Structure 1
Amino acid sequence: MSPSTYSRFIRFLQEDLAISTASIAVALRHREQDPGPLPMILWQYGLITIEQLEQIYDWLETA
């Protein structure tokens, strides 16, 4: 993912899905220890719902 797409992705998480900066930071810390797709980490740790996970993957398909 390019840096500009990544920035838009983080903005989408925060603004459209109302995911807190703290939740994103937690997921990023966990990703350092257990690499994986950020959306899956957010979901695995209960930081997003399955519906939000679907919205994220829909967004990523069009990004």
Structure 2
Amino acid sequence: MAPATYTQFIRFLQEDLAISAPSIAMAIRHREQDPGPLPMILWQYGLITLEQLDKIYDWLETA
């Protein structure tokens, strides 16, 4: 993901889905230890719902 798109993605998570910055930071830290898609890490740790996961993948398809 390009840096500009990544920034827009993080903004989408915070503004549209109301995911807190600390939750996103925790998921990013876990991703460094156990690489995987950030949306799946957020879901696996209970930081987002399945509905939010669907919205994330819809956003990623159009980004």
Structure-1-length-normalised TM-score: 0.99
- Structure 1 vs Structure 2: percent identity of aligned residues? 83
Shift of 1:10: 0.2
Shift of 1:18: 0.1
- The residue identity in structure 2 corresponding to 1:58 is D
Please name the residue that 2:20 is paired with.
20
Structure-2-length-normalised TM-score: 0.99
Structure 2: 5+ residue stretches without partners: none
Please name the residue that 1:60 is paired with.
60
Shift of 1:25: 0.5
1:1-63 mapped onto 2 (5 Å cutoff): 1-63=1-63
Alignment length, in residue pairs?
Answer: 63
Shift of 1:23: 0.3
Partner of 1:57, secondary structure, is helix
4+ residue stretches of structure 1 with deviation over 2 A? none
- CA RMSD, 1 decimal: 0.2
Structure 1: 5+ residue stretches without partners: none
